Amino acid sequence: MPLLVTDYSWTQTETAVYINVPLKGAKVGKVDILCTDEYLKVYFSPYLFEAFLLEPVDDVRSTAKVGNGVVVISLSKRISRVWERLMITTNDREKKKEVREKALLKYQERLSSESKSKAEKQHAEKKYALETMMKLEKEERDSIQKMKDTEREKTTAELAAWQLRQKEKAVEEAKSKVQSQRDHQNELNAMTEKQRNGCSGGGKVKLDQRGDSEGKSKKKQGVLPAPRPRGSIQVTFTPRVFPTALRESRVPEEDEWLRKQAEARRAVNADIEELKDLKETERNADWLKDKGDKCFATRDYLGAVNAYSLAIRLNRKIPALFSNRAACHLKLRNLHKAIEDSSQALDLLTPPVAANAAARTRAHVRRGSAFCQLQLYAEGLQDYQAALKINPYNEALQADTQRIRDIIQGSAAEPDTQ
């Protein structure tokens, strides 16, 4: 049974009542205060202070402060007048019980209302945050799409300008060729005329010389030799010699890799609507790859992505296109796309041979970097270990792999693996 506090003190004004309740050594966090319009309770084990107020108060505007070994309660009066005493003087237990239960019920209703209001406020805040986030994402997507459209227009304009320059160059070459033929013909005509003027009289020898000169002139002017007959040349190659022992030789894998490379060069899809207006040299995956490499070198990553994407639509069997596009996506923070392109490159870089070791190392590092930036350090560590297995003496790879291990073990900061 709690001990009742009787050594409290109180003062009042016409508008407020101030009550001081000593805490008797209790800690601040263990004080329970309940206040309604007719009832006040302060409980700190094993002490209890309760007051059945003489007149109703405004419990919403009332306050309580706990500190320095005392609880100071400020009650705002509903009716501005001086009270004769603080509490009612009745000893009716039933009435006090009724007031106490009514106060507890009202307090619970107020807590429920506050909880409901807080939940509605949190829901409204979450809804507003979600709407704001969706709006920002939409603006970001629109901005990215605008940048893509701008880069596409820029690339198309560059292609059109390059095509126009090629046409002008071809026209100039044709004009130069025609002019050269005319000059040559004029020289031949001048030589023929000179020979005719020099062959006047001179007997049989001079006539023969004239005839020979005319025959040579005619031969130079229009008689062309017949085209050479068509044929084929047989070419044989010496077998490749590998420095490893026969039981460790990877001749079949090397041959399969060379065969896949040859097939990739022939696997061209030229039936793309966007490229039909371009010249034959421009509908070339290697030409588009070179253009993407130049854009990447100048930090035009969106232009590089567009060039690599067109090249991939022409030929999906060249692993360098996917690996280079993954590097662009890393720069643009398109991490999931970087993982997809790196995985596609690794699928094409099979079987694993010495000829594609460097390309496999780059693809593993790019995919591992994307995983680490997504905080998937275990997956990133697997890719870095695979790259380190291919190139075990690379000091940068060794350092990055160790840094990722430290992060997984919780002993280092997050690395900037870009």
- pLDDT 10s digits, 236-288: 777 655 555 544 557 788 888 888 887 777 766 655 666 666 667 667 888 88
Q: What is the band of 216 on the pLDDT scale with cuts at 50, 70, 90?
A: low
Per-residue model confidence (pLDDT) at position 383: 95
Q: What is the band of 416 on the pLDDT scale with cuts at 50, 70, 90?
A: low
pLDDT over 80 at 119, yes or no = yes
Q: How far apart are CA 143 and CA 134, in angstroms?
A: 14
CATH architecture of the domain with range 3-89: Sandwich (2.60)
Q: What is the band of 418 on the pLDDT scale with cuts at 50, 70, 90?
A: very low
Q: How far apart are CA 306 and CA 147, in angstroms?
A: 11
Per-residue DSSP letter, 47: E
278 closest CA partner among 188, 367, 162: 162
Per-residue model confidence (pLDDT) at position 115: 85
* Cα dihedral 357/362/367/370 (nearest 10): 160
Q: What is the band of 392 on the pLDDT scale with cuts at 50, 70, 90?
A: very high
Report which of residues 235 and 305 the model is more confident about: 305
Per-residue model confidence (pLDDT) at position 201: 47
Q: What is the band of 206 on the pLDDT scale with cuts at 50, 70, 90?
A: very low
- pLDDT 10s digits, 124-147: 998 899 889 899 998 999 999 999
pLDDT over 80 at 219, yes or no = no
- pLDDT 10s digits, 152-188: 999 999 999 999 999 999 999 989 888 888 888 888 8
Report which of residues 413 and 21 the model is more confident about: 21
pLDDT over 60 at 202, yes or no = no
Summary count for the chain: helices (H), strands (E): 10, 8
Q: Where are the domains of the chain?
A: 3-89, 91-167, 256-408
Per-residue model confidence (pLDDT) at position 189: 82
pLDDT over 50 at 214, yes or no = yes
Residue 351, preceding peptide bond in cis (omega within 30° of 0): yes
Helix (H/G/I), strand (E/B), else coil: 375: coil
Crossing angle, helix 203-221 and helix 93-198, to 10 degrees?
A: 170
Per-residue model confidence (pLDDT) at position 213: 53
Per-residue model confidence (pLDDT) at position 205: 41
Cα radius of gyration rounded to whole Å, the chain: 47
- pLDDT 10s digits, 38-88: 888 888 888 888 888 888 888 888 898 888 888 899 999 888 888 888 888
Per-residue model confidence (pLDDT) at position 304: 93
Q: How far apart are CA 208 and CA 216, in angstroms?
A: 12
Of all residues in the chain, what percent carry a pLDDT higher than 70? 85
pLDDT over 80 at 209, yes or no = no
Q: How far apart are CA 264 and CA 345, in angstroms?
A: 13
| Residue type, position 105, single letter | L
Per-residue model confidence (pLDDT) at position 110: 78
pLDDT (average), residues 86-114: 79
Per-residue model confidence (pLDDT) at position 276: 63
Highest mean pLDDT among 30-39, 75-84, 349-358, 381-390: 381-390
Q: How far apart are CA 93 and CA 88, in angstroms?
A: 12
Q: Give the fold, CATH level 3, of 256-408.
A: 1.25.40
Share the mean pLDDT of the chain.
82
pLDDT over 50 at 108, yes or no = yes
pLDDT (average), residues 368-392: 94
Are 24 and 47 a contacting pair, CB within 8 Å? yes
